[in-house]
Structure 1
Amino acid sequence: MHRSLFPTTAIVLALLAGSAPALADITIGVAGPMTGPKAAFGEQFRHGADKVIADINAKGGVLGQKLVAIYGDDSCEPKQAVAVANEMVAKKVPFVAGHFCSGSSIPASDVYAESGILQISPGTTSPVYTERGLPYAFRTCGRDDQQGRTTAEYIARALKGKTVAIIHDRSAYGKGLADRTRDELHRVGITEVLYEAISVGDKDFSALVTRLKSEKVDLLFLGGYYTEGGLIARQMRDQGLKTVLMGGDALVSEEFWAITGPAGEGTMMTFSPDPRKNPDNTELVKYYRDHNYEPEAYTLYTYGSIQAWAQAVEKAGTTDTKKVAAVLKANSFDTVLGRIGFDSKGDIVAPSYVMYVWKNGKAEYAE
């Protein structure tokens, strides 16, 4: 009796389908200061990454695969950053969103370049990071020379005639920012009355405050982070000094105000345009606030970094680093940071820096 082959064929196909391997997840890295004195920035990285990965996965993932993140804690220490980078190499991730501190990101980027891992930093501002010709180093933030230019031009325009002093914390970020700002001040005809170094971890700034009083300094520019900056602001006010503190993006953190309280009022700093104010991000910002988190500073810059990489991967049709890097440099991408692109060095092509001021515990645009 003739019997149909269809049931047998169907069974074979079903067995083949059942034995076909499922697509593996794509594991990416997120690296920054998850612990230590700059952990607030690492927390921003984590919140940004967690949310964007959840949102991407809810829409089907990348190339039909789910994204999974592994987190590396470099504590903003160069040696630890290199150890984190080597761990990412061992885990064979194609991409890392990070690091934060320039002194960590720069040595880590050498490891990534050698191993073929694409890196997009949401917060590394040192020009050195992208000036070495590394093919896979990108950033979604601006650069210290841009911050310095914005600072100098603001002082020349809005604070003309003020006596300026400059200090830095000896870090790659702090000294680099201070030097770039000094160069730009000289360009617009302003010469500082003092240029001094402090150290990360210093707590007593009474000698500095005394010096500022004797020099009658109106404006103190700090190349450094919110911990020392907050203590300086508080000690200036405690000693009756009205000198305005000004700095860069590392002062844009609620941790700064937690240290200063009302003594931080009027402190000024440069940062990129605030993506929280973009109407397209209203629902995203509401989500964070509904979950008792304020998506300040580098939260959405991390979100946008991973967004850009994911879109480039989809366009390239692969996670291959060389191909994805080429796509990133040849196209623009719709992100929470707006429509962004990258130049041949890996620097973001987007609006640069604006001036902010601390008012009643919030960083607002300066007039």
Structure 2
Amino acid sequence: MKKTTLLLPIAALSATLFATLFAGVAQAQDEQVVLIGLAAPLTGGSARIGKDLENGAQLAIDDANAKHPVIAGKPVLYKLASADDQSDPRTAVTVAQQLVDRHVIGVVGHWNTGCSVPAARVYHDAGIAQIAPASTGHQYTLQGFDTSFRIMGHDDDGGAYTGAYAVKTLKAQRIVVIDDQTAFGAGLANQFIKGVQANGGTVIDHQYVTDKTIDFSGVLTEIKSKRPDLVFLGGIDVEAAPLVRRMRQLHIQAPLLGAGGFVSQTFLKLAGPAGESVTALEPGRPLQRMPGGPAFDAQYRARWHAPIELHAPFAYDAAATIIAATQQANSTDPKKIVATLHAIRRDGVTGTIAFDAQGNLKDPAYTIYQVRGGTWAVVDVLGGGAKAAAH
């Protein structure tokens, strides 16, 4: 009797464990894997930005999977499919096609406008949504592709804000513009010039470099003779740092102004004390003033054991918005996802996510920063529904 009594619970327990295990295996077999693409520079000089974007998108994937999502009555598992575009337009087209061939249902990318513009046609031809987390060139969404979206403001607005700030707040009268002739840099420089002129200011010189320029001595020698009271750079942080250092070496005391690519820890490290004279406008609110910013910052640091580099919150919102579209459409059909994105409105980490007819973010915010005491300090927040006071 004792032997029989002991065996029955063991047999029952074994049956229960087997049933639970079988159910888990069956669920795993029924689980549909849904791929979301990410295209960014994961190698090369901008790899730190690409990794930051990848980390942000991965957090959105993790958060979605933690809720055990279901589409059309079946469990799904979201996964990130990353591709390295090397910040190169030709490579961007190649990796875009690779992501399409992998049957991703949407793409977070690309980082820079020069890559997003040519890649957009590939995604459009495949009917797949592309949400650019940081491409600010307006031309990206002026191609007429209904699959193209962006999660931050574009340079037409940013240039207008920056041009007005240069004239009205900085009171600059002799403005010199430098651009790196990339799609991003040239577009930003041209919009800045329009903003200056619209506010009654004058650009006395427009100089050109490339995104590979290391020695700025030539253009700066030319600029110095013009006696500028403000220099604007259409470029990114790794260009701005050596530029501002060389300006100080040549005793050009005019402040440096930039937009959409300066505000990073990398710039502070590279520029050193010379960076104290730099002002920049960056699309989006500062991290601590984003609706979900502080919580995201803590989550990011806990997961990746590093601070946010620059655009991770926007990559999170891009991925989360694609996921939200699948849930609202109750489908992984790319065409239904695209249609849903055009009507979507949701609260994101960075703010309210909704798109206009072109795919641009509605009512985007912009932040004016200055380097003070070796850190980026918030001077003002423009747009985004309300003007925030400076801290």
Same fold (TM over 0.5): yes
Structure 2 residue 375 is the aligned partner of structure 1 residue 362: yes
Alignment pair present for 1:46 and 2:57 = no
Map of 1:244 onto structure 2 = 255
Any idea what the Cα deviations from partners look like across 1:219-270, whole Å, max 9, x if unmatched? Answer: 1111111111111011111222212111111112211112111111131111
Q: Match for 2:67: what amino acid?
A: K
The 3 A distance-change label for structure 1 pair 165 and 20 is closer
1:302 matched to 2:335: no
1:274 to partner: Cα distance: 1.8
Out of 163, 166, 169, the residue aligned to residue 180 of structure 2 is 169
TM-score by length of 2: 0.86
CA distance 1:361–1:319, change in 2 (3 Å): farther
Q: What are the Cα deviations for residues 306-346 of structure 1, in whole angstroms up to 9, with x where unaligned?
A: 11111121111112222222222223112101222011111
Whole-angstrom CA distance in 2 between matches of 1:36 and 1:19:
41
User: For 1:143-190, what per-residue CA distance to the aligned partner results, in whole angstroms no more than 9, with x for missing partners?
Assistant: 010110110111122112432100100101110111111112111111
Q: Counterparts of 1:174-193 in structure 2 under 5 Å?
A: 174-193=185-204
Question: 8 Å contact 2:128–2:338 — kept in the other structure?
Answer: no
Q: Which amino acid aligns with 2:327?
A: E
Q: Distance in 1 between matches of 2:353 and 2:152?
A: 11
The answer to whether 1:147 aligns with 2:158 is yes
Alpha-carbon distance between aligned partners in 2 of 1:81 and 1:194, rounded to the nearest angstrom: 33
Distance in 2 (alpha carbons) for counterparts of 1:201 and 1:20: 49
Cα contact 1:150–1:354 (8 A) shared by 2: no
> Superposed, which structure 2 residues align to 1:44-83 within 5 Å?
44-61=52-69, 63=71, 64-83=75-94
State the distance in 2 between where 1:294 and 1:326 align. Answer: 35
Distance 2:294 2:222 in 1: 46
Which consecutive residues of structure 2, in runs of 5 or more, have no partner in the other structure?
A: 1-18, 381-391
How many Å separate the matches in 2 of 1:273 and 1:34? Answer: 25
- Which residue of 2 is the match for residue 336 of structure 1? 349
Deviates more, 1:203-212 or 1:341-350: 203-212
Cα distance in 2 for partners of 1:360, 1:54 equals 37
Matched, 1:99 2:110: yes
- Which digits, 9 at most, give the CA deviation of each residue in 1:287-310, with x for residues without a partner? 323443222421100001111111
Question: Secondary structure at 1:220's aligned position in 2?
Answer: strand
Query: 3-state DSSP class of the match of 1:92?
Result: coil
Structure 2 partner of 1:32 = 40
Amino acid at match of 2:299: Y
Secondary structure of the corresponding residue to residue 221 of structure 1: strand
For 2:280, what is the secondary structure of its paired residue?
Answer: strand
Deviations along 1:167-217, one digit per CA (max 9) or x if unpaired, are 100101110111111112111111211001101211111122222221111
Mapped to 2, the partners of 1:45 and 1:62 lie a distance apart of: 26
1:283 aligns with 2:291: no
Which secondary structure does the structure 1 equivalent of 2:203 belong to? coil
Relative to 1, partners in 2 of residues 1:206 and 1:108: Cα closer, same or farther, differing over 3 Å?
Answer: same
| Corresponding letter in the other structure for 1:348 | L
- 1:197-346 superposed matches below 5 A: 197-271=208-282, 272-278=284-290, 280-290=292-302, 291-346=304-359
Alpha-carbon contact 2:123-2:130 (below 8 Å) kept: yes
Q: Secondary structure at the match of 1:177?
A: helix
Return closer, same or farther for 1:46/1:161 CA change in 2, 3 Å cut-off: closer
**Shift, 1:360, TM fit:** 2.8
Offset, 1:20? 9.6
Question: Quick one: which amino acid aligns to residue 95 of structure 2?
Answer: V
Deviation at 1:62, TM superposition (A): 5.8
User: What is the Cα-based RMSD across aligned positions, in Å?
Assistant: 2.0
SS class of match (1:349): coil
Match of 1:3 in 2: none
The ranges of structure 1 where at least 4 consecutive aligned residues each deviate by more than 4 angstroms after the TM superposition are: 17-21
Q: Is the 8 A contact 2:173 2:201 kept in 1?
A: no
Structure 1 match to 2:100: 89
Structure 2 residue 30 is the aligned partner of structure 1 residue 22: yes
SS in 2 for 1:251: coil
CA shift, 1:38, in A, is 1.9
CA distance in 1, matches of 2:105, 2:117: 18
CA contact (8 A) 2:293 2:313 kept: no
2:172–2:230: 8 Å Cα contact kept in structure 1? no
